[in-house]
Chain A
Amino acid sequence: GIQVEQSPPDLILQEGANSTLRCNFSDSVNNLQWFHQNPWGQLINLFYIPSGTKQNGRLSATTVATERYSLLYISSSQTTDSGVYFCALDTGRRALTFGSGTRLQVQP
């Protein structure tokens, strides 16, 4: 099956800093999504981005499908950005394969 690798596994930032999270994948995909899992365990959909670039406030994402990677940018980080960020891919069954996540801690 498809392999999904996320880096870095852990990241500690000071409030106000910027960060880039990376997701590499091994096969062509129909669908790529980014999720945020907050410290209470809730999973929140951030982006549906099989290709191209999208922005939502301080967050933006870029997927380069031909090179099999996606990037999630967080600018001016806040403590509420803490949690785990997952990328997940669908190869055609509408069932997602998740990476193991990047755990982000934003310190005040």
Chain B
Amino acid sequence: DAGITQSPRHKVTETGTPVTLRCHQTENHRYMYWYRQDPGHGLRLIHYSYGVKDTDKGEVSDGYSVSRSKTEDFLLTLESATSSQTSVYFCAIWREGQETQYFGPGTRLLVL
């Protein structure tokens, strides 16, 4: 258990509405990540952060923004949700020293 929580765990929303997903960690790790998982694609990186206010894009960043104003929280925002953003979203941290990544429980998002 890497002390990672995600909220909400499930969400149903309508096309065009803004959505914010929250990732919270308790172990003070510097690196945090957002991935999405879709059938047939494995996990794909959306955005990641390497420190407070330091973020970078992943391979599927279009339509998403992130913010990290404090070490423990990494927020993912869908400014105007679309049906193609229906997915399971996973947050992760990088445990330095072990050089391994640990995942939160996931958020299942349905955009109608």
Contacts and interface: CB of A to CB of B under 8 A. Distances in A.
Interface of A: 1, 31, 33, 35, 41-43, 45, 48, 86, 88, 93-101
A49 B18 CA distance: 40
B100 interface: yes
Contact of B43 (A1, A86, A94): A86
Contacts of B105: 41-42
Nearest to B44: A98
Contacts, number: 49
Given A98-B42, A98-B43, A99-B42, A41 B88 contact: yes
Contacts of A1: 59
Contacts of A94: 31, 48, 50, 94
**Contact size class for B?**
20 to 34
A48 B100 contact: yes
Given A1-B59, A95-B45, 17 more contacts: A31-B99, A33-B100, A33-B101, A41-B105, A41-B106, A42-B103, A42-B106, A43-B90, A48-B100, A86-B43, A94-B94, A95-B58, A96-B33, A97-B59, A98-B35, A98-B43, A98-B44
Interface string B54-92: 001011000000000000000000000000000010100
Interface in B22-51: 31, 33, 35, 40-45, 48, 50
B36 to A, nearest CB: 11
Looking at chain B's contact residues, the main secondary structure is strand
B40 A100 contact: yes
B41 A96 contact: no
Contact of A96 (B40, B45, B56, B106): B45
B58 A43 contact: no
Nearest to B59: A1
Contacts of B94: 94
A41 to B, nearest CB: 5
* A-B residue pairs, 5 tightest by C-beta: A98-B42, A43-B103, A98-B43, A100-B42, A48-B100
